[in-house]
Structures are given as structure tokens and as C-alpha cells.
Amino acid sequence: MTDPRYTKLAHLLVAYSTKLKKGDTVLIDAIDIPDEFTVELMRAARQAGATPLVEVRHGRVTREVLRGTDERHAKLVRDVEMFRMKKAQAYIALRGSANISENADVPSDRIQLYSKKLRPVLEYRVAKTRWVVLRWPSASMAQSANMSTEAFENLYFDVCTMDYPKMAKAMVPLHKRMARADHVHLKAPGTDLKFSIKGIGAKMCKGDRNIPDGEVFSCPVKNSVNGVIQFNAPTIYSGTKFENVRLEFKDGKVINATSSNTKKLNEILNTDAGARYVGEFSLGFNPYIIEPMCDILFDEKIAGSLHFTPGQAYEDCDNGNRSAVHWDMVLIQRPEWGGGEIWFDDQLIRKDGRFVPKDLTPLNPENLKS
């Protein structure tokens, strides 16, 4: 018997997130997820009149792909992936993982080479398809969240099948405020950071690109970032866990970076010229996501959080920065995490994780849940 939660989630991805219709081809990228859900998603796509094209991957195999990659191999993979991507109007990626540190021993230069060569495929997918990406719950994720597997699975399906249309309506005023803002000031313990987002625009993330969702993002003017930011959520990049990341900026560039693994942090920030500049600034407010679990698709949506992103900028809110890196780093500003403030043009927007202006209060957790 099919889990009814599978059916509900598959319908959300097909009808709401990617809006599949008759004649569409949808590329389903299934990584370490149950076959039962892949089958349910295929059936939902076919019911909508779309043709599913399915790729099944496994993390342990991908690790070996990365360990042995070289210039010739990465170019070949890029060409094959691009050919297939251009056949699809929609893309659904389901990413599970039995071990979140599976790639921890893959040499950084192999990961950087592979990322750079396959970047055009990612850029095409983002710009040319209706896409959505989501994690799949696993014992590894439950462990990172300090939860039992059953409790985490229940949380996962609450988060992923919440009322996203309601959230979308509530975030419109924040989108408008961010789109017209100039100066931004972030304050928190160890953080005093100023930058401009003038003319960059803003983008609502409301369940039609990522599941789970719940953020509005913009991007700093490339050379405008000055000050220091101290992140309090752990972060994983290419299989390596980092804690207490602290970045100091001058005229947009990271001039000093420290963490629990300062050496590897700086190796990543030295990937290319754009990796030390910022490609995204975002506010997260999903009411069901409270604690970090070292999975960025969840952590960047934590209620009362913000994330600041060294590396590649999105075309939707573009400051011109280009990089093989796009690393969302999370700062939680709720009182139990030390609190903090966000100011737009000398107006207090959020204090200790709660939105202050009346038009933004529908985004506070109790209102999004009700």
C-alpha cells in the first residue's frame, strides 16, 4: 500500500511546484530515495500528461565518480547531462543520503574541477526549466537533527506539504520591501555588517523551486559589503562540516575567514575570484524548521534566520558575481541563539527572529502555522 504522504507530496511537486502539463518532459533525478516514491512521482507526472525521464543515482557511486574525475571525464559528463537537460521542460531532484559526509575524503581539487565543468548544466536548468529540488529524509539527517528517524520523517512531511500558497501570499510585502531597499544593516553577537541591495531586486521562494521552502532573497551590490558576520549554525560543504564560520569583509571581498576548519574554508574560498564575494542575501521563515540539521535546503529556511552566500549570484537577483561556489551560510537570530536585528534603510525589519512591521507579521511562525 502506498504511503498517503507520498501521494500528497508527489501531487504537490507535479501540480504546484513544476505545474506539469500534457506534452511536458520532466527529468526526475532520484538520489538515494525509496523506489516507491520514484514510482509514485512517475505516476503523478503521467497522470498530468507529462513524460517522466528518470535518472537513479547513489551517493557512494557518485563519490567514486568524483574521486577519479579529470578534465576529459568532466567535459563528457557535462555534454551528456546538457543534452538530456535540453530535452526537458521541467526538473525534479530528490536528494537522499545515507551518509552526509560521503564526499569528505574526495580531494577538493576534484570537486572544484567537476563543479566548474558542470556549472553550465546547472545554469541552464535554473534559467530554462521549471525546477524543484528537495531532500529526502534519512537516518543520517535525523541524526544531524538530533531526532529519532520516525520523528524526523513526521517533521519532514509536515514541512514539505504545508500550505505553501498561504505562505506565498504572506511574503509579498517582504518582497516589496526588499525590492525597494537600499541599505541593509545586520546585527547579532559577533556580527555588524552593512551593505546595499539597491537595484538588485528580490525573489520569493514559495515552494515552486525548493521543498521545503520559505525565504525571500536578494543580493548585495558586489563591492558594498563591509564589516563582519559570525554564523552560528553549522554548515556542510562537499562533505566537510564547518562550525563557527566568521567572515570579515572589505569592499565586498572576504579578507579574513576563520572556522573550525580554517584551512579548508579558505581553500574553498580560493576556488576562483568570485568565491570571496557574495552572491545572495536571504531571510528564512519556515515555521516548522527550528533547529539546524546540517542540510542547507532545510537550514536556510529556519524560522528567524538569514543566510549570506559566498560565490555565485542567481540571475534573478544578479550582482554580476560568478563562481563555481555557492555556499549558503546561516545565522539564526532568535533569542535562544543570541538574538539580532535586521534593518532596511534605518527601519527595523526583524528583531530576535520576529518581523516587526505590521505588514510583515503574517510571516511570524504562529501566523503561518494557523
Express each pLDDT in 306-346 by its tens digit: 999 999 999 889 999 999 999 999 999 999 999 999 999 99
Question: Can you tell me the distance from the alpha carbon of 21 to that of 36, in angstroms, rounded to the nearest whole number?
Answer: 23
pLDDT score of 234 more than 90: yes
State residue 370's pLDDT score: 66
Question: Can you tell me the distance from the alpha carbon of 136 to that of 149, in angstroms, rounded to the nearest whole number?
Answer: 12
Least confident of 50-59, 74-83, 121-130, 136-145: 136-145
Under DSSP, is residue 317 helix (H, G, I), strand (E, B) or coil?
helix
**Percentage, residues of the chain above pLDDT 90:** 81
Q: 101-115 pLDDT, tens per residue?
A: 888 899 989 998 999
State residue 323's pLDDT score: 95
Measured from the Cβ of residue 245, the count of other Cβ atoms closer than 10 Å reads: 26
Comparing CA positions, the residue from 218, 240, 233 lying closest to residue 302 is 233
State residue 369's pLDDT score: 85
Domains along the chain with CATH numbers: 4-136 (3.40.1830.10), 164-369 (no CATH)
Comparing CA positions, the residue from 170, 361, 370, 350 lying closest to residue 288 is 370
State residue 165's pLDDT score: 87
Q: 166-201 pLDDT, tens per residue?
A: 999 999 999 999 999 999 999 999 999 999 999 999
Q: Which three cell numbers stand for residue 287?
A: 515555521
Q: 141-171 pLDDT, tens per residue?
A: 888 788 899 999 998 998 888 888 899 999 9
Measured from the Cβ of residue 251, the count of other Cβ atoms closer than 10 Å reads: 11
Q: 21-58 pLDDT, tens per residue?
A: 999 999 999 999 999 999 999 999 999 999 999 999 99
**pTM, rounded to two decimals:** 0.78
Instruction: Enumerate the H helices of the chain as residue ranges.
Output: 4-11, 35-47, 59-67, 71-85, 108-128, 139-144, 149-160, 164-170, 172-180, 262-269, 296-299, 365-369
Provide the residue count of the chain.
370
State residue 176's pLDDT score: 98
Question: Can you tell me the distance from the alpha carbon of 46 to that of 25, in angstroms, rounded to the nearest whole number?
Answer: 10
| Confidence bin at 250 (pLDDT 50/70/90) | very high
Under DSSP, is residue 276 helix (H, G, I), strand (E, B) or coil?
helix
Contact 356, 329 (CB under 8 A): no
| Confidence bin at 135 (pLDDT 50/70/90) | confident
| Backbone torsion region of residue 238, taken as left when φ is above 0, otherwise alpha when ψ lies between -120 and 50, otherwise beta | left
